[in-house]
């Protein structure tokens, strides 16, 4: 587990939000809900955790914005996001309209992969067509030459 030093030592953040960050990081793989996290930071319920979570969002280390086609989730960042990286909204993929925030903004991982495969397939097709166009006469010529040779030997 890696805890961003500046964040933990940031006196501007409340003690609870700093603890919340540490607890969230420790529990992130378990998929804990805020309700489960609450008692670990000395709070009673998810409702009470919210303002502290907002503090972490404000600090750029947590994202809680909803993403297209995904269940609401809390995304933790090990280092604070820069101002440009912090967007209020989910950035949809230009191809399929699903969330693309985890990948290149505007192109999701799946579509990126599809485009890569499509491009490779197109290149293969182009190469094959070039070879076919260039080699068609040659191939016929060679087989007919062999045929001639065979005829001559017989
Ligand atoms: Zn998104
Ligand atoms: Zn896509």
Q: For residue range 41-94, list pLDDT tens digits in order.
A: 999 999 999 999 999 998 888 888 778 877 777 888 878 888 777 766 788 999
User: Do 77 and 85 contact (CB within 8 A), yes or no?
Assistant: no
Cα angle, residue 38 at apex, residues 50 and 79 outer, rounded to 5°: 65
Q: What was the pLDDT predicted at 82? A: 81
* Nearest ligand to the C-alpha atom of residue 114: 2
Kindly state the average pLDDT of the residues 23-27: 85
Q: What was the pLDDT predicted at 103? A: 85
Rounded distance from Cα 154 to ligand 2 centre (Å): 64
Q: What percent of the chain has pLDDT over 70?
A: 81
Rounded distance from Cα 62 to ligand 1 centre (Å): 14
* Nearest ligand to the C-alpha atom of residue 69: 1
Rounded distance from Cα 63 to ligand 2 centre (Å): 21
Distance, CA of 121 to chain centre: 23
In this predicted model, which residue has the larger pLDDT, 47 or 3? 47
Residue 31 has pLDDT above 80, yes or no: no
* Nearest ligand to the C-alpha atom of residue 97: 2
Residue 99 has pLDDT above 60, yes or no: yes
d(C-alpha 89, C-alpha 101), whole Å: 10
* Nearest ligand to the C-alpha atom of residue 110: 2
* Nearest ligand to the C-alpha atom of residue 106: 2
User: Do 48 and 37 contact (CB within 8 A), yes or no?
Assistant: no
Residues with Cβ within 5 Å of ion ligand 2?
Answer: 93, 95-96, 108, 111
Residue 97 has pLDDT above 60, yes or no: yes
User: Do 21 and 61 contact (CB within 8 A), yes or no?
Assistant: yes
Distance, CA of 58 to chain centre: 22
| Closest C-alpha among 56, 55, 63, 61 to residue 78 | 61
Residue 106 has pLDDT above 60, yes or no: yes
Average pLDDT, the chain: 81
Q: What was the pLDDT predicted at 154? A: 45
Rounded distance from Cα 117 to ligand 2 centre (Å): 14
Distance, CA of 25 to chain centre: 19
Tokens of 54: 């907002």
Tokens of 110: 């799946």
Rounded distance from Cα 86 to ligand 1 centre (Å): 11
Q: What was the pLDDT predicted at 148? A: 53
The length of the chain, given as a count of residues: 154
């Amino acid at each position: 587990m890696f805890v961003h030093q500046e964040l933990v030592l940031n006196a501007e953040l409340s003690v609870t939000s700093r603890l919340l960050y540490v607890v969230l990081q420790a529990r992130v793989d378990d998929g804990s809900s805020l309700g489960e996290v609450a008692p670990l930071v000395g709070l009673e319920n998810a409702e009470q955790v919210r303002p502290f979570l907002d503090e972490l969002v404000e600090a750029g280390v947590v994202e809680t914005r909803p993403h297209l086609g995904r269940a609401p989730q809390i995304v933790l960042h090990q280092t604070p996001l820069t101002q440009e990286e912090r967007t209020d909204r989910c950035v949809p993929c230009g191809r399929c309209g699903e969330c693309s925030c985890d990948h290149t903004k505007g192109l999701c991982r799946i579509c990126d992969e599809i485009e890569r495969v499509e491009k490779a397939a197109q290149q293969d097709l182009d190469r094959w067509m070039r070879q076919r166009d260039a080699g068609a006469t040659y191939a016929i010529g060679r087989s007919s030459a062999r045929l001639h040779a065979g005829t001559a030997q017989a």
